[in-house]
Homo-oligomer: A and B are copies of this chain.
Amino acid sequence: MTAAGKSLRPHAKTHKSPEMARRQLARGAVGICCAKLGEAEVFAASGITDIRLPYPLNPANADRVVKLLDHTRLSFIVDDADVAQGWSTAMRSAGREVDVLVKVDVGFHRCGIDPDRNGAAEMIARVAGLPGLRFRGLLSHAGHAYNAGSEQEIAAIAASEAETLTRLACEVERLGVAVPEKSVGATPSARFSLGQAGVTEMRPGNYIYFDRTQVGLGAATWEDCALTVLARVVSRPAPDRLILDCGSKTLSNDLARSYGPTPGHGVVFTALDTTTPEDALAIERLSEEHATVRIGGAGSGLAPGDLVRVLPNHSCVVSNLVDAAWLVDGHRVLEPLPIAARGRIA
| Partner-B contacts on A (CB < 8 A) | 13, 35-36, 55-60, 79-80, 82-83, 86, 105, 109-114, 143, 232, 234-238, 241, 243, 245, 248-249, 252-255, 285, 287-290, 292, 303-305, 316-317, 320-323, 343, 345-346
Contacts and interface: CB of A to CB of B under 8 A. Distances in A.
A237 B252 CA distance: 29
Nearest to A246: B346
19 contacts: A36-B245, A55-B234, A56-B304, A57-B234, A60-B232, A82-B303, A83-B305, A86-B305, A110-B243, A110-B287, A111-B243, A113-B237, A114-B237, A114-B238, A143-B287, A232-B346, A253-B254, A321-B343, A323-B343
Given A245-B36, A288-B35, A322-B343, A234 B56 contact: yes
Contacts of A36: 245, 289
Contacts of A249: 317, 320
B243 A248 contact: no
Given A112-B235, A288-B316, 10 more contacts: A55-B245, A58-B234, A80-B235, A80-B304, A110-B237, A110-B243, A111-B234, A112-B237, A114-B237, A232-B346
Nearest to A57: B234
Copies of this protein in the complex = 2
Contacts of A248: 252, 254, 317
Contacts of A143: 287
Contacts of A83: 304-305
Contacts of A105: 237
A192 to B, nearest CB: 21
A5 B207 CA distance: 56
Contacts of A58: 232, 234, 304-305
